[in-house]
């Protein structure tokens, strides 16, 4: 199934300042997430951001917060799965019901805990999860790989940043294409 931008939302899972330094591949992770945030904002896609226990783990990375701007407010959670957190679940269900946003593009950390549990839980809410493989991380590379393998076996679409970008764009020759394709050059 292809992503359709009018059906998508972007879900950024726990990209927090105290968690990120422990991850493998933090720099490329932040770079890819930044591309997707810029694209989602340019294409007017809804963005949801979760923060796992922010009191102890800090808030969303300042660089990402700057890209998100003030219109996107992170939602705190204690459940590992965003699908199990009442506030985030309500936000996702509202997007699905009111805007027909039934495809969720996921980026974040940790791939084998919160991202995995969210991706496996979203179908219960009527949402198709698309996990951006080059925009998720774990402390150990093997944990990330096992998570991506498990999600794929369980029917979660594993995609790349470029796949998402070009599926959201749909065609060349538009002002959006010119602007957003420059992000990956």
pLDDT value at residue 51: 98
Has 114 been annotated as catalytic? yes
CATH of the domain at 138: 3.40.50.850
130: pLDDT strictly greater than 90: yes
Which one from 77, 82, 85, 134 is the annotated catalytic residue? Answer: 77
In angstroms, what CA-CA distances link 11 with 5, 36, 37, 39?
Answer: 14, 10, 10, 13
Average pLDDT over residues 17-21: 96
Please report which confidence band the pLDDT of residue 185 belongs to, taking 50, 70 and 90 as the band edges.
confident
Span 26-30, mean pLDDT? 97
Point out the catalytic residue in the list 9, 14, 61, 102: 14
Half-sphere exposure (Cβ direction) of 155: Cα atoms closer than 13 Å = 7
14 is catalytic: yes
Please give the residue range of the domain that contains residue 53.
5-184
Structure confidence by residue, pLDDT tens digits, 71-107: 999 999 999 999 999 999 999 999 999 999 999 999 9
Q: Of these residues, 9, 85, 114, 134, which one is catalytic?
A: 114
Number of domains in the chain: 1
């Amino acid at each position: 199934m292809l992503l359709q931008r009018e059906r998508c939302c972007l879900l950024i899972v726990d990209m927090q300042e105290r968690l990120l330094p422990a991850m493998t591949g933090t720099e490329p992770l932040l770079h890819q997430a930044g591309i997707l945030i810029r694209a989602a904002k340019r294409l007017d896609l809804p963005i949801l951001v979760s923060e796992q226990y922010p009191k102890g783990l800090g808030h969303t990375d300042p660089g990402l917060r700057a890209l998100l701007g003030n219109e996107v407010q992170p939602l705190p959670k204690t459940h590992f799965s965003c699908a199990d957190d009442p506030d985030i679940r309500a936000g996702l269900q509202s997007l699905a019901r009111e805007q027909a946003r039934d495809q969720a593009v996921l980026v974040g950390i940790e791939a084998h805990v919160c991202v995995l549990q969210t991706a496996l839980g979203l179908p219960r809410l009527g949402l198709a999860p698309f996990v951006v493989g080059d925009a998720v991380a774990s402390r150990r590379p093997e944990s990330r790989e096992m998570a991506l393998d498990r999600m794929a076996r369980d029917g979660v679409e594993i995609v790349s940043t470029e796949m998402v970008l070009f599926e959201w764009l749909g065609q060349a020759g538009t002002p959006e294409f010119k602007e957003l394709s420059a992000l990956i050059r």
